[in-house]
């Protein structure tokens, strides 16, 4: 097990190394730190002096090592537009995105588990057929279209729910939360539902097929033969073994949801990391863009590594056969 | 040619296709959509790129069956006064072009990488698959958004918009090739120890010929199965990028950029600029996905579960 963890962590560090190389190359090729510092109104001679002083004429490797060292210390450069450290800008936007993902995850859990389990137990029922037929449709509707249709129905026509922004938030030690005010929750409903809509069909299908597979196994047949109550068989014996693969996939899909937050945040003008990223692209704020790349890359690497290690703990064949 | 046709007529593929109403319906809809898109200049009522047909006084007209609609514009007009139906058909053409183009590019990259990695093995395999694994650990949409953002900054927004079609094909192709590489590698690993490969090696064919002429055709089933899904994915990615403003410009809108420009006017009640392109997009992706589901069930029941 120890060797497995070491191998996995080395691999994660290697990936981070590559991401930082990519990030640095972007900064080096496209970005102009001198402009970030002094703007456009400085003579070329002064610029050259400044370039020398900042070490921008050093060889690539030296500059990269400096970048990596700073990054390891949590310094990812200054944002040109915000005039603040890029990491601080991202940290200020992170709660909004995390709450969006959290809300969507809760919706997915509370909707997909009951429907998935039900349609595994009664695969011929009307509800199961309906959800199966609609899951392909659900996969084919892009998330921004779902969001727009939701806005049109619930904000424009019915006027029930707000269509943009986070509403009233409460500050909990630097974390702006929308979960504790009525207004904040009202603002969360539509974005969370549209973000959840992309993952729901996948999870309902996954839970259904895993559960159906488990219901075919010997030990479940034995449990029936023993005369256990059907609820006990379904919800205790079968359900437990359904959960393991579902949890692994859930871990990975949470990461994928981060990508879709960029779309959801654009539709709802949600002041999170994805919205900030697109603003950074529009304003050519390279430092902020690279910082976002590094932060999101790090999140993915950490999540993937942790999921792998947990999976290795639960399922020993992985860590023995692993490359 | 005639023999191939005879074999196709007797095949299980055609037999199961005839049994499946959903598949027949999907293929019919897909063919209609493809024909509409490819024959856009003939089919569409107006040429939306021709300034002579655009009159700002006609902007934001609702569909013809509503109260303020005009019979000349069946589905209404967009904010610039272009006929929405024509703009949609041209947009459909761009979406199809980029979707299929990107799928071909990623298929090409992925098949070559997968074939080399699977057949040659050893260090080449380790390096290539490590790259694919690293990229696969990030969602393809994220990768596509990053690459397009970087391209936009590197090229400058004006040139990016001029080159949008080839650039989007490259972006989406680069973002999704590992899926192909993984699948092809897996089936090459299964094929390469079979007797026919051994026989080819014994009679002294060189390895490139064995790889491309003997092993490759036998991996095509799985390539075909994922290709349908990948085309649908590529069309979705293009729409997402265009919606974010990283794809096709408003002057030459794809379905995604039409939805983007319509979204700004949805609060004033102009729902049709968003809804009709949206329906087009969903229909296109849905029939491709349905065909993909059917193909997967017929060709390779064990490839996925569920």
Cα separations (Å) of A26 from A30, A39, A287, B183? Answer: 6, 20, 9, 31
Tens-place pLDDT, residues A262-319: 888 888 888 888 888 888 888 877 888 888 888 888 888 888 888 778 777 776 666 6
CB within 8 Å: A136 and B266: no
| Residue B126 to chain A, least CA–CA distance (Å) | 10
CB within 8 Å: B306 and A209: yes
CB within 8 Å: A163 and B267: yes
Nearest to A184 by CA among A201, A171, A167: A167
Lowest mean pLDDT among A106-120, A240-254, B57-71, B288-302: B57-71
* Positions of chain A with pLDDT lower than 50, given as ranges: 322-323
- SS3 for chain A is CHHHHHHHHHHHHHHHHHHHHHHHHHHHHCCCHHHHHHCCCCCHHHHHHHHHHHCCCCCHHHHHHHHHHHHHCCCCCECCCCCCEHHHHHHHHHHHHHHHHHHHHHHHHHHHHHHHHHHHHCCCCHHHHHHHHHHHHHHHCCHHHHHHHHHHHHHHHCCCCCCCCCCCCEEECCEEECCCCHHHHHHHHHHHHHHHHHHHHHHHHHHHHHHHHHHCCHHHHHHHHHCCCHHHHHHHHHHHHHHHHHHHHHHHHHHHHHHHHHHHHHHHCCCCHHHHHHHHHHCCCHHHHHHHHHHHHHHHHHHHHHHHHHHHHHCHHHHHHCC
Q: How confident is the model at residue B64 (pLDDT cuts 50, 70, 90)?
A: low
Residue A234 has what pLDDT?
84
**Phi, psi values for residue A85, rounded to 5°:** -60, 135
Instruction: Using the CB atoms, write b or e for B142-176: b if 16+ within 10 Å.
Output: bbbbbbbbbbbbeeeeeebbeebbebbbbbbbbbb
What is the model's pTM? 0.84
Between B305 and B42, name the one with better pLDDT: B42
**Are B124 and B117 within 8 A, CB to CB?**
yes
- Measure CB to CB from residue B282 to each of A141, A151, A208 and give the nearest one: A141
Res B303 pLDDT > 50: no
Beta bridge partners of B83: B77
Question: Secondary structure of chain B: what % helix, strand, coil (to 5)?
Answer: 75, 0, 25
Residue A262 has what pLDDT?
87
CB within 8 Å: A142 and B305: no
A12 CB neighbours in chain B (<8 A) are none
CB within 8 Å: A281 and B152: yes
Beta bridge partners of B77: B83
| Residue B158 to chain A, least CA–CA distance (Å) | 13
- The torsion of the CA quartet B178, B179, B181, B186, rounded to 10 degrees, works out to 140
- Measure CB to CB from residue A144 to each of B142, B240, B290 and give the nearest one: B240
Between A245 and B53, name the one with better pLDDT: A245
Q: Let me know if A181 is exposed, middle or buried by CB neighbors in 10 A (0-12, 13-18, 19+).
A: middle
A216 torsion bin: left (phi>0), alpha (psi -120 to 50), beta (else): alpha
A25 part of contact set with chain B, CB < 8 Å: no
| Residue A155 to chain B, least CA–CA distance (Å) | 9
Q: Provide mean pLDDT across the span B221-227.
A: 84
Q: Provide mean pLDDT across the span B95-113.
A: 91
B269 part of contact set with chain A, CB < 8 Å: yes
What is the DSSP code (8-state) at residue B135? H
**Are B74 and B63 within 8 A, CB to CB?**
yes
B242 CB neighbours in chain A (<8 A) are none
CB within 8 Å: A142 and B289: no
B217 part of contact set with chain A, CB < 8 Å: no
Identify the three-state secondary structure at position B296.
helix
| Residue B121 to chain A, least CA–CA distance (Å) | 14
Residue B222 has what pLDDT?
82
A144 part of contact set with chain B, CB < 8 Å: yes
Average pLDDT, chain B: 82
Give me A309's structure tokens: 């290690």
Which residues 224-283 in chain A show a CB within 8 A of chain B? 255-256, 258-260, 262-263, 266-267, 277-278, 281-282
Residue B57 has what pLDDT?
65
Give me A188's structure tokens: 């969360």
Residue A316 has what pLDDT?
66
Between B243 and A38, name the one with better pLDDT: B243
In whole angstroms, what is the distance from residue A156 CA to residue A117 CA? Answer: 36
- Measure CB to CB from residue B153 to each of A137, A260, A284 and give the nearest one: A284
In whole angstroms, what is the distance from residue A145 CA to residue B118 CA? Answer: 40
Identify the three-state secondary structure at position B83.
strand
Which residues 67-86 in chain A show a CB within 8 A of chain B? none
CB within 8 Å: B139 and A136: no
Identify the three-state secondary structure at position B272.
helix
Chain B residue with minimum CA distance to A157: B269
**Are B300 and B225 within 8 A, CB to CB?**
yes
B271 CB neighbours in chain A (<8 A) are 152
Residue B306 has what pLDDT?
36
**Are B43 and B85 within 8 A, CB to CB?**
no
In whole angstroms, what is the distance from residue A307 CA to residue B135 CA? Answer: 17
Nearest to A90 by CA among A280, A250, A227: A280
A140 part of contact set with chain B, CB < 8 Å: yes
CB within 8 Å: A301 and B150: no
Between A260 and B80, name the one with better pLDDT: A260
Residues whose CB falls within 8 Å of the CB of residue A78, separated by 6 or more in sequence, listed in order: A36, A37, A84, A85, A86, A287
CB within 8 Å: B139 and A255: yes
Cα separations (Å) of A138 from A58, A105, A133, A203, B102? Answer: 53, 17, 9, 12, 23
Number of H helices, E strands in chain B: 14, 0
Average pLDDT, chain A: 80
In whole angstroms, what is the distance from residue B259 CA to residue B265 CA? Answer: 10
A300 part of contact set with chain B, CB < 8 Å: yes
A13 part of contact set with chain B, CB < 8 Å: no
Identify the three-state secondary structure at position B306.
coil
Q: How confident is the model at residue B302 (pLDDT cuts 50, 70, 90)?
A: low
Number of Cβ within a 10 Å radius of residue B283 = 16
Q: How far apart are the first and last CA of chain B?
A: 38
Tens-place pLDDT, residues B164-199: 888 889 888 888 888 888 888 888 888 888 888 888
- Measure CB to CB from residue A152 to each of B240, B266, B286 and give the nearest one: B266
Identify the three-state secondary structure at position B77.
strand
B134 CB neighbours in chain A (<8 A) are 15, 18
What is the DSSP code (8-state) at residue B205? -
Nearest to B284 by CA among A267, A145, A152: A145
Distance of CA A278 to the CA centre of its chain: 16
B245 CB neighbours in chain A (<8 A) are 278, 282
Size of the A and B interface in Cβ pairs below 8 Å:
97
Number of Cβ within a 10 Å radius of residue B35 = 12
Distance of CA A285 to the CA centre of its chain: 22
A286 part of contact set with chain B, CB < 8 Å: yes
In whole angstroms, what is the distance from residue A305 CA to residue B137 CA? Answer: 10
B286 part of contact set with chain A, CB < 8 Å: yes
């Amino acid at each position: 097990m120890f060797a497995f963890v070491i191998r996995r962590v080395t691999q994660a560090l290697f990936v981070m190394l590559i991401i930082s190389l990519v990030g640095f190359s972007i900064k080096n090729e496209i970005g102009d730190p001198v402009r970030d510092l002094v703007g456009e109104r400085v003579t070329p001679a002064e610029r050259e002096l400044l370039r020398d002083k900042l070490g921008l004429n050093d060889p690539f490797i030296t500059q990269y090592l400096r970048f990596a060292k700073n990054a390891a210390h949590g310094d990812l450069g200054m944002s040109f537009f915000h005039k603040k450290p890029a990491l601080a800008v991202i940290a200020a936007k992170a709660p909004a995105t995390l709450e969006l993902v959290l809300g969507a995850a809760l919706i997915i859990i509370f909707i997909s588990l009951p429907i998935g389990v039900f349609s595994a137990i009664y695969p011929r029922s009307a509800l199961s057929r309906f959800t199966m037929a609609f899951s392909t449709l659900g996969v084919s509707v892009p998330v921004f279209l779902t969001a727009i249709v939701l806005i049109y129905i619930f904000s424009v026509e019915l006027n029930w729910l707000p269509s943009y922004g986070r509403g009233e938030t409460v500050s909990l030690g630097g974390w702006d939360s929308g979960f504790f005010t009525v207004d904040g929750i009202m603002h969360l409903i539509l974005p969370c539902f549209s973000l959840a809509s992309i993952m729901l069909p996948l999870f309902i299908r996954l839970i259904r097929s895993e559960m159906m597979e488990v219901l075919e196994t010997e030990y479940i047949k034995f449990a029936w033969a023993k005369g256990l109550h059907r609820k006990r068989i379904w919800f205790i014996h079968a359900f437990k073994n359904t959960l393991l693969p579902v949890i692994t996939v859930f871990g990975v899909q949470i990461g994928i949801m981060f990508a879709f937050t960029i779309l959801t945040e654009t539709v709802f003008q949600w002041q999170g990391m994805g919205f900030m990223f697109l603003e950074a692209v529009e304003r050519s704020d390279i430092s902020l863009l690279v910082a976002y790349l590094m932060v999101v890359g790090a999140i993915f690497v950490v999540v993937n590594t942790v999921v792998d290690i947990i999976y290795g703990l639960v399922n020993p064949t992985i860590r023995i056969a692993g490359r | 040619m005639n023999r191939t046709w005879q074999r196709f007529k007797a095949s299980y593929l055609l037999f199961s296709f005839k049994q499946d109403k959903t598949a027949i319906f999907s293929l019919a809809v897909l063919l209609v959509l493809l024909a509409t898109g490819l024959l856009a200049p003939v089919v569409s009522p107006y040429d939306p790129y021709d300034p002579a047909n655009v009159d700002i006084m006609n902007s934001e007209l609702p569909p013809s069956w509503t109260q303020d609609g005009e019979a000349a514009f069946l589905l209404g007009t967009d904010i610039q006064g272009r006929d929405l139906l024509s703009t949609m058909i041209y947009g459909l053409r761009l979406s199809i072009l980029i979707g299929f183009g990107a799928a071909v590019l990623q298929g090409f990259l992925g098949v070559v990488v997968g074939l080399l990695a699977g057949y040659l093995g050893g260090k080449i395999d380790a390096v290539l698959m490590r790259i694919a694994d690293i990229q696969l650990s990030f969602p393809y949409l994220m990768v596509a958004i990053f690459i397009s953002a970087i391209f936009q900054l590197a090229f400058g927004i004006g040139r990016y918009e001029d080159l949008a079609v080839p650039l989007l094909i490259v972006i989406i192709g680069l973002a999704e090739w590992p899926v192909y590489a993984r699948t092809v590698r897996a089936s090459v690993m299964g094929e390469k120890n079979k007797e026919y490969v051994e026989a080819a090696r014994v009679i002294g064919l060189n390895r490139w010929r064995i790889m491309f002429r003997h092993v490759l055709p036998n991996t095509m089933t799985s390539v075909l199965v994922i290709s349908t899904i990948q085309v649908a994915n590529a069309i979705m990615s293009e729409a997402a990028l265009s919606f974010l403003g990283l794809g096709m410009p408003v002057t030459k809108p794809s379905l995604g950029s039409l939805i983007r420009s319509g979204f700004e006017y949805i609060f004033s009640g102009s729902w049709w600029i968003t809804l009709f392109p949206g329906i087009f997009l969903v229909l296109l992706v849905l029939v491709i996905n349905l065909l993909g589901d059917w193909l997967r069930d017929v060709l390779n029941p064990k490839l996925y579960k569920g």
